[in-house]
């Protein structure tokens, strides 16, 4: 598909996992894609793969928690690919621990990457969206926003992403910019594999245990998230804004 060959998307946290899958999907949809991540090798490899398939992409290393780096990265994407009008705020980290063991650094790091990072990225990209009078913002939340043991910081950040999304929808709607949040459940990625290792469980057993609690009886894949992101950034989703969509294989509150 080449729905919008002239449109440019930015995906943060695109070095691996969900971000890499979303970047690849948007490229196949016809978007030029800026892949941003702290992992420079990951995004450069991802961008090279997209170019090898005939697409347009650039990989840029940055810390989304640093305003100067964010401004420089978005400017580079705009200069090399064109005005970015699609933004996928996917960059995230975990620093899991029970509350009484959680350090201030654990708290600040997680909220900084998810919330401050998404704020900084959106503030830069909306300049192009409002000028073009068209835009799509997709923020990654999580089922952890509903509460999850050992993730007070991550849960707070992911719940914050939902409030952030709804406010963006209100403020930017008049510019034909929509904002929605995807809240994944269990997705098989390096991050969930690390969680399995941390609790002393094999990844296969960890996935099997999770799948047994999911109505569709399987865990999710990064492609499941990419499929929804592809729709939400399309023209067909232009009347959907301010929504939180749980992609978890079953209903969530």
Residue-wise pLDDT for 94-121, tens only, equals 999 999 999 999 999 999 999 999 999 9
The confidence score (pLDDT) of residue 1 equals 41
Q: Reply yes or no on whether 154 is catalytic.
A: yes
pTM for this model (two decimals): 0.96
Q: What is the dihedral of CA 216, 218, 223, 225, to 10 degrees?
A: 60
Which pLDDT belongs to residue 6? 77
**Could you say which residues of the chain have pLDDT below 70?**
1-5
Alpha carbon separation from 114 to 5, 15, 16, 52, 180 (Å, rounded): 29, 16, 16, 31, 15
pLDDT the model gives residue 195: 87
According to DSSP, residue 242 is labeled S
Please report how many Cα atoms fall inside a 13 Å half-sphere around the Cα of residue 17, on the Cβ side. 22
Which residue among the candidates 31, 107, 134, 154 is catalytic per the annotation? 154
For residues 219 and 47, what is the distance between their CA atoms, to the nearest angstrom?
27
Walk across the sheet containing 244-247 and list its strands. 57-61, 32-37, 8-12, 84-89, 135-140, 177-184, 244-247
């Amino acid at each position: 598909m080449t729905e919008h060959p002239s449109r440019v998307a930015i995906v943060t946290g695109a070095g691996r996992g969900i971000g890499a899958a979303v970047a690849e999907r948007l490229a196949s949809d016809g978007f030029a894609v800026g892949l941003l991540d702290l992992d420079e090798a990951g995004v450069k490899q991802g961008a090279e793969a997209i170019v090898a398939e005939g697409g347009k992409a650039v990989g840029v290393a940055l810390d989304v928690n640093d305003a100067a780096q964010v401004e420089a990265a978005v400017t580079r994407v705009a200069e090399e690919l064109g005005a970015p009008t699609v933004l996928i705020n996917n960059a995230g980290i975990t620093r899991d621990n029970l509350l009484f063991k959680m350090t201030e650094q654990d708290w600040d790091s997680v909220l900084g990457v998810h919330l401050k990072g998404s704020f900084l990225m959106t503030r830069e990209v909306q300049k192009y969206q409002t000028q073009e009078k068209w835009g799509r913002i997709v923020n990654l939340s999580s089922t952890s926003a509903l509460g999850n043991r050992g993730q007070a910081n991550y849960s707070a950040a992911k719940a914050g992403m939902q409030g952030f999304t709804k406010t963006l929808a209100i403020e930017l709607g008049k510019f034909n910019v929509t904002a929605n949040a995807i809240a994944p459940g269990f997705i098989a990625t390096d991050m969930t594999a690390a969680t399995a290792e941390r609790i002393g469980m094999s990844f296969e057993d960890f996935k099997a245990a999770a799948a047994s609690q999911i109505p569709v009886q399987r865990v999710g894949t990064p492609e499941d998230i990419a499929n929804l992101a592809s729709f939400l950034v399309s023209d067909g989703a232009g009347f959907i804004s301010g929504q939180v969509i749980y992609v978890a294989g079953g209903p969530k509150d």
